[in-house]
Amino acid sequence: MTDRPAVDLSDPVALRAYAHPLRMSLVGLLRREGPLTATQAANLLGESVPSCSFHLRQLAKYGLVERAEGADAREKPWRATALTTRWGRESDDTETRAAVDQLDGVIIHRFYERALNWLARRDAEPAHWRAVTGPGDDLAFLTADELAELSRRIDDLFEQYRPRQTDPSLRPPGARAVHVSYYVTTFDQP
């Protein structure tokens, strides 16, 4: 999948369509697990098959998923079209900005829930995993261009690990799915 480009969303309707939590979960699942049928996805996510089937069809309208080759004529799996989804935040269109804000809000909420779920199970983690996981933050005085460069460099650091998402044979022993999230804001000093 690494040979396929990122999906770029700019249309407010597409942005709002992707902002649905189940749709995000489906795209993420397909990116992690590879092609799945709606039934398989429903079982893994604890959702109903008709609901997953409906949302997969909606995601296909916006180029986020597509049909994959099945094992037989009855099997109709779906696959993610790319490993990442991008959207711009620089639009001057108020409808687009509102859709971006909605999508960003859903993502921030998902990050928060993921962090709380990790916190609830942290004590069960081995010490070496506890030592390298958890919250963190930093403060720097940057120009917008410097911040863009920093974001690009962070993305470049992850590039070497992306093939492991779609090829489990590249994962070293002991490798686990790790989610690194960050949200960049400006800081108003008191």
Read off the CATH number of the domain in which 125 is found: 1.10.10.10
Structural domains of the chain, count: 1
Of the candidates 23, 5, 186, the residue with the CA atom closest to the CA atom of residue 89: 186
Spans in the chain with pLDDT lower than 50: 1-2
**Structural domain contains residue 102:** yes
**Structural domain contains residue 140:** no
The reported pLDDT for the residue numbered 186 is 83
Q: Residue 134, CB half-sphere, CA atoms under 13 Å: how many?
A: 9
**Structural domain contains residue 173:** no
**Structural domain contains residue 147:** no
The reported pLDDT for the residue numbered 48 is 96
Largest pairwise CA distance in the chain: 64
Other CB atoms within a 10 A radius of the CB of residue 93 amount to 11
Pairing of strands 85-87, 7-9: parallel
**Structural domain contains residue 166:** no
The reported pLDDT for the residue numbered 32 is 86
Which structural domain, as residue segments, surrounds residue 56? 7-134
The reported pLDDT for the residue numbered 2 is 45
**Per-residue pLDDT tens digits for 21-71:** 999 999 999 988 889 999 999 999 999 999 999 999 999 999 999 998 876
